[in-house]
């Protein structure tokens, strides 16, 4: 079935020397109250007008979430107390960034192509260095990358893109449960001997639905009502727990 879908996509797109045709298992992601993460299957094909060119081929898939400002602090021990001694404000960094590839990036993507297209995690984040206000840029940006890698928000899966016969490819990208709303940019890069020869880009909308959407809108549009409702729920929960505890002790 997947091969049939890919074949239809190939026939529907005007041909170039070497072109990427992309498909997605879903065109949006919905965040509900019991959302625990999701997976997106990214599949497609490479359409060619001529025989397969010479050179080492690679395929790289990136999924990038919305960007937001990040304040990074460095703590130092002063007079026996840990305090925020230095800080750097990063104007924009993606809240989620995933990279999957057919092989190690150092084997299929040279540094010049990475600088131009901001493919790797380091390059995608370091492209914002010019807008950092002050401080040791490299140290602070690497701290953002390390923290978000540890929390699963930045991932690198080398070898996770499978390719069949130099034509059909597929990859699965895992989305964590703590996604935020927005457009998640998906990019596919086809490389030859480390240089990008073709690319494709599309967006995956991520949005809240149901109760999550109602509570989100209420907190933004009527914060006083949202706060009072939260207080009432907390008060009721405390009263119910105390009542149940007294009933258990009394029995």
Average of pLDDT values for 188-206? Answer: 88
* 6: confidence class by pLDDT, cuts 50, 70, 90: very low
Distance CA 104, CA 159 (A): 7
Please tell me the predicted confidence (pLDDT) of residue 4. 45
Question: Taking 50 as the threshold, does the pLDDT of residue 13 lie above it?
Answer: no
Distance of alpha carbon 8 from the chain centroid = 28
Write b or e for each residue in 196-217: b if 16 or more Cβ atoms lie within 10 A of its Cβ, otherwise e. bbbebeeebebebeeebeeeee
Residue 24 has pLDDT above 80, yes or no: no
Average pLDDT, integer, range 78-99: 76
Query: What does pLDDT average to over the chain?
Result: 75
What is the percent of the chain with per-residue pLDDT over 70, rounded to a whole number? 67
- Whether the pLDDT of residue 67 is over 90: the answer is no
Q: What is the pLDDT of residue 138?
A: 74
**224: phi then psi, degrees, rounded to nearest 5:** -65, -45
- pLDDT (0 to 100) of residue 43: 84
Helix (H), strand (E), coil (C) string for the chain: CHHHHHHHHHHHCCCCCEEEEEEECCCCEEECCCCCCEEEEEEEEEEECCCCCCCCEEEEEEEECCEEEEEEEEEEEECCEEEEEEEEEEEEEECCEEEEECCCHHHHCCHHHHHHHCCCHHHHHHCCHHHCCCCCHHHHHHHHHHHHHHCCCEEEEECCCEEECCCEEEEEEEECCCCCCEEEEEEEEEEECCEEEEEEEEEEEEEECCHHHHHHHHHHHCHHHHHHHHHHHHHHHHHHHHHHHHHHHHC
Name the maximum alpha-carbon separation found in the chain: 84
In this prediction, residue 88 has a pLDDT band, given cuts at 50, 70 and 90, of confident
Q: How confident is the model at residue 189 (pLDDT cuts 50, 70, 90)?
A: very high
pTM (predicted TM-score): 0.69
d(Cα 175, Cα 217) in Å, to the nearest integer? 23
Pairwise CA distance, residues 98 & 125, whole Å: 12
Going by C-alpha positions, the residue among 186, 187, 188, 179 that lies closest to residue 206 is 179
Kind of pairing between the strands at 18-24 and 57-64: unpaired
- Write down how long the chain is: 251
Q: For residue range 108-141, list pLDDT tens digits in order.
A: 999 999 989 999 988 887 655 444 445 567 777 8
Greater confidence (200 vs 215) lies with 200
Query: Which whole number is the average pLDDT over 217-233?
Result: 66
Query: What is d(CA 232, CA 230) in angstroms, rounded to the nearest whole number?
Result: 5
pLDDT in tens, 153-170: 999 999 999 888 778 888
Give the rounded percent of residues in the chain with a pLDDT score beyond 90.
18
Please give the pLDDT value at position 89. 72
């Amino acid at each position: 079935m997947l091969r049939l879908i890919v074949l239809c996509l190939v026939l529907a797109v005007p041909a170039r020397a070497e072109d990427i045709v992309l498909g997605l298992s879903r065109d949006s992601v919905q965040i509900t109250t019991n959302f625990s993460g999701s997976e997106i299957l990214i599949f497609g094909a490479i359409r060619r007008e001529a025989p397969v060119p010479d050179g080492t081929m690679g395929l790289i898939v990136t999924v990038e979430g919305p960007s937001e400002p990040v304040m990074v602090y460095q703590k130092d021990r002063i007079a026996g107390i840990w305090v925020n001694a230095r800080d750097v404000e990063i104007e924009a960094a993606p809240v989620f960034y995933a990279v999957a590839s057919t092989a190690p990036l150092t084997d299929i993507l040279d540094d010049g192509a990475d600088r131009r297209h901001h493919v790797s995690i380091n390059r995608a984040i370091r492209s914002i260095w010019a807008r950092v206000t002050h401080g040791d840029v490299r140290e602070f940006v690497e701290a953002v990358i390390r923290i978000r890698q540890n929390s699963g928000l930045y991932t690198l899966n080398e070898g996770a893109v499978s390719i069949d016969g130099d034509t059909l490819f597929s990859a699965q990208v895992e989305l964590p449960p703590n996604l935020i709303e927005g457009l998640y940019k998906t990019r596919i890069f086809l490389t030859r001997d480390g240089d990008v020869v073709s690319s494709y880009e599309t967006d995956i909308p991520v949005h809240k639905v149901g109760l999550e959407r109602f509570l989100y809108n209420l907190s933004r549009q009527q914060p006083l009502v949202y706060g009072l409702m939260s207080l009432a729920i907390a008060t009721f929960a405390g009263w119910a727990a105390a009542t149940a505890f007294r009933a258990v002790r009394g029995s």
